[in-house]
Structure 1
Amino acid sequence: MSNSTFNKILSIVIALLLWIYVIGEVNPTTQHTFTNVPVSLVSMETLTSRNLAVAGDSEYTVDIVVEGQRADVSKLTMDEVVATADLFGFGKGQSYIEVSVKVPENVKKIEVRPARIPVNIEELVAVSKPVRVTVSGLETGDQEVGNIKLKPSEIEVTGAKSQVDSVEYIQATLDATKVLENGSTLQVTAVPIDGDETPVRNVRLSSEYVEISAKLFGVKTVKLNTKTTGELAEGYEISSIELPETIRIKGSKSVLRNLSEVSTEPIDITDISSNTTQRVKVNLPDGVELANTNKTIEAKIYIRDVVSKEFEYSSDEIQIEGLSEGYEASIQTSPVILKVIGEESAMGLIQKEDFTLSIDLSEADTTTASAKVIVNHTKTVSRIIVTPEKLNVTVNEES
């Protein structure tokens, strides 16, 4: 017994035997806390039958403290700890619903934190939302997906009113690497998206998938032509129209090959009296679309104030030019009204004598002719309107 090494070994053996006895025979009671245990909402069908639904994120979790013999508690898994909240009997508004917990018979529940969860119940609604396609997988700007057709083009969203109202559209993401030039049809997942471009949870869709038909197109830059229609309000004229000189379009290579320019529909300036911006529609051949960078074409129209002056000219004040030798002519249409339009600062000095009116009869070979009025001047004006634009003239041989 005086051997210290022997005493140390004996102490260790005794301690080990005591530990084995306590664990194996005594098996003391212990507690364990399971964190973030999911809570299942039950009796949801009772809400649906009353046109109600749970709003917000319906995924709830709680912490659960259990107690039992160490051997039993150590073997317990989270899958064996079941937490539920019964929605039966609850109506519209926010309610705090008690969490019920089931555990195996050899352990017992000690505490649930929190004991109740807040559930917001709203009116159940169903609204159709448009489907929008998002294209992924294109690495260069010389190709784009086009001729896109959707089935369905709208999907009904069902759920709590606040959740459904937050849905802006249904997103369908198309992988462009799977689209061929002669066309492909793909099925993609439908995702409800809100105004912040974030997926909306806890709503149901009438269709979980969208069927997309599309073709892989080439992209080309072409010249953009435009013209106007209509008349501005009295006292105004167009100063300038700001519009892109070129735009990018997409289509099959065979169609784009011989296409170098496109035109807009006429820009309507009827009765415009202030600077304005108009969305412009582009006339495109069949099978051609605007490229993604030019989905919207806008024309900025700038106008300015103008004033006008009118001068009257008799037939004697209109020069006749180009008349063949041996002939004489007389103007039958009279008088001619010359309306001159320009900025006020310039128009103050404009006089009738600044303008010379004439007609050219070099092409006239009959006794009666019609000739366009030609206006010559050196003044800076915006626009000249001649009424009438053509004059009736009688041509006779000199007597």
Structure 2
Amino acid sequence: MREHFRQDWIYRLLAVALAIILWMYVTGEQNPTGEKVVRVPLETENLREGLVVADRPAEVQVRVEGRKAAVANLLSRDVHAYVSLRDAKVGDNLLPVQVEVPEGLNVIHVNPAQVTIKIDKIEQVQLPVQVNLLGTPAGGYRALEPVLKPSQVVVSGSAATLKSIGRVYVEAKIDQASGNFLAQLPVKLADREGRPLQEWLTVSPEVVETFVPVVQDMPSKFLAVRPQLAGEPAKGYAIQRVILQPEVVEVFAPYNHLAALDYINTAPVNIAGATKNVTAETNLEIPAGVQVGSFPRVRVVVEIGKAANPNSTP
């Protein structure tokens, strides 16, 4: 009996083992596993205020394992590789790469598993913006000096990266243009070799208003800008002076048009009832057939003060 009982258990164990092997085989055939290596952009997180990443690897390689169907459909954007900079200090920091993958997949290997991240303090510089004109105007037209608002931007980043800036610019597409170009354009940064620097720096403002006068090849003339004021200051107050920016503008027109022009007006600026200075940005009133070679807006400052008392003794 004892021998029979022992043989019975051996058969049972063999049956269980065969069942497990068979299950693993069937499961493997129906849902085979596979591996895949993906190149993933390396991101940084949790950097303290006042610090900036001065240098880091652009990407890492991640080897994942999982069901073949899931692995085959895996894209680099599905994998999140990052380094936490919560405890990073100024200088070089050797830190582990952390990886997150979709459910059902496992990370086998990360290359490199640790990376050196260089941290620097944030500094700022104010730099002028240049205009890169793309293309040429239509026949019979020409582009004049561009006008930018603002003409300078503040760039923030590490000291070393700021020193490598070779150019701050916008790109204005004026190919075959037969009229003025006006647009809000993104500011771009490049090093001295022309390589982009946008990733390492921040710009304020990120866009600037860009005006490129595109005028016909006609005679030109400089005209004084004359302010038009609507209304009168409050009783007891008077206009002290009017400041214009710009005070003169270049206009383009046929000779017979230019001969009749001595000045160019601004649109009316309302000063009715004013008791203090009035500042306005207004348009120019451009006559028909005339083109202006600068931004067609004028800043007008009307200084208002107490009126002199005519009855007072000097």
What residue identity is the alignment partner of 2:173? D
Distance across 2 between alignment mates of 1:189 and 1:178: 22
Q: How many corresponding residue pairs?
A: 209
What residue identity is the alignment partner of 1:39? L
Deviation at 1:71, TM superposition (A): 4.7
What residue identity is the alignment partner of 1:191? K
3-state SS in 2 of match to 1:164:
helix
Query: Is the CA contact (8 Å cut-off) linking 1:39 and 1:59 kept in structure 2?
Result: yes
Query: Is the CA contact (8 Å cut-off) linking 1:31 and 1:65 kept in structure 2?
Result: no
Q: Does 1:200 align with 2:197?
A: yes
CA shift in 2, pair 1:82/1:251, >3 Å: same
- Which stretches in structure 1 are left out of the alignment for 5+ residues? 1-20, 221-249, 259-286, 290-399
- Which stretches in structure 2 are left out of the alignment for 5+ residues? 1-23, 219-249, 259-291, 295-314
Of the three residues 18, 29, 35, the one matched with 2:38 is: 35
Structure with more relative contact order (C-alpha pairs < 8 Å, separation 6 or more)? 2
Of the three residues 91, 94, 97, the one matched with 2:95 is: 97
Give percent identity, aligned residues only. Answer: 23
Distance across 1 between alignment mates of 2:174 and 2:123: 35
Aligned to 1:386: none
Query: Is the CA contact (8 Å cut-off) linking 1:179 and 1:215 kept in structure 2?
Result: no
Query: Is the CA contact (8 Å cut-off) linking 1:91 and 1:121 kept in structure 2?
Result: yes
CA shift in 2, pair 1:170/1:85, >3 Å: same
Matches within 5 A, 1:144-159: 144-159=142-157
Distance across 1 between alignment mates of 2:72 and 2:128: 53
Of the three residues 114, 117, 127, the one matched with 2:115 is: 117
Distance across 2 between alignment mates of 1:189 and 1:29: 50
Aligned to 1:191: 188
Two-structure CA RMSD over aligned residues (Å): 3.7
Question: TM-score under structure 2 normalisation?
Answer: 0.56
Deviations 1:199-233 (A, max 9, x none): 3222111012111223213569xxxxxxxxxxxxx
Of the three residues 210, 213, 216, the one matched with 1:212 is: 210
Q: Does 1:129 align with 2:114?
A: no
Deviations 1:308-337 (A, max 9, x none): xxxxxxxxxxxxxxxxxxxxxxxxxxxxxx
Distance across 1 between alignment mates of 2:78 and 2:173: 42
Aligned to 1:163: 161
What residue identity is the alignment partner of 2:215? F
Deviation at 1:158, TM superposition (A): 0.9
Deviation at 1:140, TM superposition (A): 7.1
Matches within 5 A, 1:356-367: none
Matches within 5 A, 1:177-188: 177=175, 180-181=178-179, 183-188=180-185
What residue identity is the alignment partner of 2:83? A
Deviations 1:85-115 (A, max 9, x none): 1111111112222111122443321111111
What residue identity is the alignment partner of 1:150? L
CA shift in 2, pair 1:35/1:126, >3 Å: same
> More strand per residue: 1 or 2?
1
3-state SS in 2 of match to 1:163:
helix
Matches within 5 A, 1:1-399: 22=25, 26-27=29-30, 30-44=33-47, 46=48, 49=49, 51-56=50-55, 60-138=58-136, 143-177=141-175, 180-181=178-179, 183-201=180-198, 202-218=200-216, 252-254=252-254
Deviation at 1:63, TM superposition (A): 1.4
CA shift in 2, pair 1:169/1:79, >3 Å: closer
Distance across 2 between alignment mates of 1:59 and 1:178: 43
What residue identity is the alignment partner of 1:211? E
